Homo-oligomer: A and B are copies of this chain.
Amino acid sequence: MGRMSHETRERLVRRGVEMLTEFSVGATGLDRLLRSAGVTKGSFYHFFGSKQAFTLAVIDAYEAYFEARFERILGDRQLSPVRRMRHWIDEAVRGMARHGFRRGCLVGNLSQELGPHDAVLRERLRAVFERWEGWVRQVLEEARACGELRPGADPARLATAFLTGWQGAILRAKLEGRAEPMEAFASFFLDAVTPADPPACRGAR
């Protein structure tokens, strides 16, 4: 692919991420996307072949972005595991605030709208959630190992509960146009899983 066409493809994917975090697929529409990106329908089908293929490319880009973010924040062993979770939550709130709480989670939006109606996208979206749960489970396992979780806590189960509830928190934050639902859910979760008097884990600053 030449440099220009590579840039065109990238621009389409970037606009796809922006629009599909803010609007439904139905409200976005191919024409609107193409106008916004300044790309013809012919180019679109040249690059992607189908709308489904484009949606998959948008999910890939979103996942790659989050992979780097999980790595940077949850993999930061300068902080204790629970502090890394807190940092990740704060960054998510800042990310929503940066766009006036109009953009939600692309994976949540597409799950809501397309998940039940497109088997290929459903499997892809499930795989993203599993990947994210793996990150959270990993950091909660580290938390358990150094006593930052309540006795008997199950990191895998907690990771699922957190990321499940977190989608609701993003939805409510988007509806209300403010951070409170994310803060409230995150505080509930962290209070529920950590002991009253947590130990000083390695990196606990």
Contact = CB atoms under 8 A, between A and B. Distances in A.
Given A101-B116, A160-B184, A184-B164, A172 B111 contact: yes
A26 interface: yes
Given A102-B116, A116-B102, A164 B160 contact: no
A35 interface: no
Given A26-B24, A112-B109, A177-B116, A171 B165 contact: no
Interface string A166-194: 11110110111100010011001100110
A24 B174 contact: no
Nearest to A165: B165
A102 B171 CA distance: 19
10 shortest A-B CB distances, which residue pairs?
A26-B26, A165-B165, A168-B168, A167-B168, A115-B175, A161-B188, A192-B192, A111-B175, A24-B24, A24-B113
Contact of A115 (B28, B174, B193): B174
A175 B129 CA distance: 11
Given A102-B116, A168-B169, A185-B165, A174 B26 contact: no
Contacts of A189: 161
Contact of A171 (B171, B175, B184, B193): B171
Contacts of A41: none
A165 B174 contact: no
Interface string A61-73: 0000000000000
How extensive is the interface on chain A, given as a class?
35 or more
Given A164-B181, A185-B161, A104 B112 contact: yes
A34 interface: no
A176 to B, nearest CB: 6
A22 B172 CA distance: 19
A108 B112 CA distance: 9
Nearest to A196: B152
Contacts of A192: 188, 192-193
Interface in A101-131: 101-102, 104, 108-109, 111-113, 115-117, 122, 125-126, 129
